[in-house]
A and B are shown apart, each in its own frame.
Chain A
Amino acid sequence: MTYSLTRRTVLFVYALLVLVPLVVVVAGSFKTTQQLFASPFGLPSSLDAGNYRTVLGEAGLGVAFRNSAIVTGCSVPLTLFIGSLAAYGISRIPGWKGGLVYGFLILGMAVPAQANMIPQYVLFDLLGLTNSLAGLVLVNIVVTLPIAVFIMTGFLKTLPREMFEATAIDGSGPWRTYRSIVLPLSVPSLAATAIFLFVMHWNDLLYPLLFIQEPGKQTLPVALLSFQGEFLTDFPLLFTGVVVASAPIVLAYVFLQRYFVAGITAGSVKG
């Protein structure tokens, strides 16, 4: 009895703690500063999109949105492709050789970004890949490959080996096996990995902050961070920025929730 009451109370209070700030932010994006301060919890009096026009236009979030879409749109499929090739090879190369490649690749998960970002910056700068969206795509691929290989190898090892042997007997080479057996069967794990990568690449702040100085090439998190100085107390504009930056991920979450939980959990089980 008391347990059930405690449970309900905790669950209710925590749900409020999550939802109330989010509702205040969305409602606040349609308010002026005065309206927000006067009644933070109230609904907006009108759905005036003025803040959105300001944020997307003169504040530069529209350009940043486009840059983020380009970078993420390239880096997620490329990481998936290169990572799944590697995962397939690793899971089919028997004995210590496959294990060695696997161990070497996933060692990268233990290296914090701050440990190699400086030499990385020097190298990218040397190759003319700073201030470039292509450079961001490349760095996204490189830093998330270890975890993508980790998630996808884990999945491929659960596929029955008899199936691969049967295709080999049928005379199908590894490339055909990869294309016509491995890829179709891996759709759930590819989807989960894709979601994980999407969240990582879309939200990444460190590398764009490091590699991009030109305002026209900033991605969303950096552009949003620079709001801090510009609109220091203009919370409605900050909130509008938050809504714009989060919209694609929230939309995906609503429709593909299962893969979010699977992907982000698989990604976090990395010790």
Chain B
Amino acid sequence: MTLTSQRSRAADQSAETARTPRARIGLGPRRPARVNRPHPALFLFPVPALVLYVVFFAIPTVEAVRYAVTDWDGFSADYNDVGASNFTTIATADSLFHNALFNNIKFMLVVVVFQTLLSLMLAVFLVKNTKSSVFLRSVYFFPTILSSVSVAFIWKFVYDPNYGLANGVLGAVGLDGLKSAYLGDDNKAIYFVAATQVWFHVGQMMVIYVAGLQQIPAELYESAEVDGASRWQLFRHVTWPMVAPATAIVIAYTTVQSFKAFDLILGLGGNPPKPSLDILSTRIYAGFANSEFGYAAAESIVFMLVIALVTWLQRRAVRLSQGAA
């Protein structure tokens, strides 16, 4: 987002300079004024998109706010205006919602930390465009294209306590002590889903990092090497600060993905999932499925605010860490 919006801002600015008197005198590129005025028919081009978007997306988003202050069940003709009581229930009395929020934050933190670090490590290892690196990148990227339900079913078998791959491999190498019930262990289940999520999307983040790493000028490494920097120092003082824009993108996207892991949870945990696997999106869906439309709409607004808050905190944290680096 940042990259493109900066580029488009630059394009807008150059459009502006072209219209200033300076430009017309001949200091900027000269153009006939007639051409700069857009053809009136151009304004029709965004219309189909705008109509669909307003009717089926924007208005429903605003409607959600209206539903949120009612007790509507989704099919009755009448409902009551309940003011902010849905929100006070969410904040103070709904232990299922608190549990889902808490699970979601645990899930997000684990996924963000491990997915970011692993994808950066793989990208550093595969940054050169050699044949083997290009091949391995396409292997690591592969899971991203599968559906969440497919990934969930693959990992259901990996995690199966009796016949699954994970316990099978651990048993074969004599590490029976590490065997686990995985999704059956309520204290750890959400972390095993997080591991699956990392497997699912780490290749996608790696590709973003590879693009970022390939933009770092080689001279930076050469001059640091002349100064006798170690491999770790090169990473710490050249690579890490230089890939900061990619890191910001990876972290922001991973966060949003963690809040949207709805499909993966339903695939691994069933529909509806048990409390130890419930996250915010599955909780809202459960409210919808139970015909609590008004209450679920209130939950969905809180959900949106939580994502906005977490994203904002992260931007601050990323900016602070860049300042310190």
Residues of A within 8 A of B (CB): 3, 7, 10-11, 14-15, 17-22, 24-25, 28, 36-37, 40, 82-83, 85-86, 88-90, 92-95, 97, 99, 101-102, 104-105, 108, 110-123, 138-139, 141-143, 145-146, 149-150, 153-154, 157-158, 161, 165, 168-169, 173-175, 178, 199, 202-203, 205-206, 209-210, 220-221, 224-225, 227-229, 235, 238-239, 241-242, 245-246, 249-250, 253, 257, 260-261, 264-265, 268-271
Q: Is the CB of A101 within 8 A of B50?
A: yes
Contacting pair B249 A271 (CB below 8 A): yes
Known: A94-B36, A270-B253. A142 touches B61 (CB 8 A): no
Given A15-B136, A169-B35, A114:B300 Cβ within 8 A: yes
Query: In terms of DSSP, what is the predominant structure of the interface of chain B?
Result: helix
Closest to A148 in B: B49
- Cβ of B140 < 8 Å from any Cβ of A? yes
Given A17-B199, A82-B49, A224-B153, A99:B12 Cβ within 8 A? yes
1/0 per residue, CB under 8 A from A, across B156-174: the answer is: 1110100101001000000
**Cα-based distance from A210 to B271 in the complex (angstroms):** 13
Binds A, one of B91-99, B218-226, B280-288: B280-288
Q: Does the CB pair A142–B154 fall under 8 Å?
A: no
Given contact pairs A85-B46, A265-B207, A123 touches B285 in the complex (Cβ within 8 A): no
**Nearest neighbor of A123 in chain B, beta-carbon distance:** B60
Check A174/B12 contact, CB under 8 A, given A119-B63, A157-B7: no
- Is B67 part of the contact surface with A, judged by Cβ < 8 Å? yes
Contact of A111 among B44, B52, B61, B253 (CB under 8 A): B61
CA A107 to CA B25, docked complex, whole Å: 39
Residue of A nearest to B304 (CB): A115
| B168 in contact with A142 (CB, 8 Å) | no
Interface positions, chain B 135-164, Cβ under 8 Å from A, are 136, 138-150, 153-158, 160, 163
Other 12 A-B pairs with CB < 8 A, given A89-B45, A114-B303, A257-B138: A21-B155, A21-B158, A82-B49, A82-B52, A89-B42, A92-B38, A115-B303, A117-B300, A173-B41, A235-B160, A249-B145, A264-B145
Residues of B within 8 A of A37 (CB): 163
Q: Is the CB of B147 within 8 A of A202?
A: yes
Q: Is the interface of A mostly helix, strand, loop or mixed?
A: helix
CA distance in complex: A227, B105 (Å): 29
Is the pair B7, A154 in contact by a Cβ cutoff of 8 Å? yes
Q: How far is the CB of B191 from chain A (nearest CB, A)?
A: 17
A12's nearest neighbour on chain B, judged by CB, is: B136
Q: By the criterion CB–CB under 8 Å, are B154 and A242 in contact? A: yes
**B126:A271 contact, CB within 8 angstroms:** no
Which 6 interchain pairs have the tightest Cβ spacing?
A: A89-B45, A271-B1, A203-B147, A119-B63, A119-B60, A86-B49
Residue pair B46, A90 in contact (C-beta under 8 Å): yes
CA–CA, A85 and B57, complex, Å: 19
Contact status A250-B249, CB under 8 Å: no
Binds A, one of B77-85, B106-114, B177-185, B262-270: B262-270
In the complex, how many residue pairs between chain A and chain B have their CB atoms under 8 Å apart? Answer: 288
A142 touches B150 (CB 8 A): no
**What are 21 A-to-B residue pairs whose CB atoms are below 8 Å?**
A10-B122, A14-B122, A15-B136, A24-B157, A40-B168, A82-B48, A111-B57, A112-B304, A112-B307, A119-B59, A120-B60, A139-B56, A174-B42, A178-B45, A203-B147, A203-B263, A205-B147, A205-B262, A210-B288, A221-B149, A245-B147
The reply to whether the CB of B88 lies closer than 8 angstroms to some CB of chain A is no
Greatest chain B CB density within 10 A among A3, A116, A141, A174 is at A116
Q: Which residues of A contact B61 (CB under 8 A)?
A: 111, 115-116, 119
Q: Is the CB of B267 within 8 A of A228?
A: yes
At the interface, yes or no: B39 with Cβ under 8 Å from chain A? yes
Q: Is B121 an interface residue (CB 8 A)?
A: yes
CB within 8 Å of A: which of B28-72?
A: 31-32, 35-36, 38-39, 41-46, 48-50, 52-53, 56-61, 63-64, 67
Give chain A residues whose Cβ lies under 8 Å from the Cβ of B74: 118, 122
Give the contacting residue for A270; candidates B1, B38, B52, B307; CB below 8 A: B1
Cross-chain contact A86 with B125 (CB below 8 angstroms): no
> Residues of A contacting B120 with CB < 8 Å?
none
Give complex CA distance A75, B220 in Å: 47
Contact partner of A119 (CB less than 8 A), chosen from B122, B136, B297, is B297
Closest to A165 in B: B35
Q: Do A85 and B49 contact each other (CB < 8 Å), given the known contacts A111-B61, A114-B300, A268-B253?
A: yes
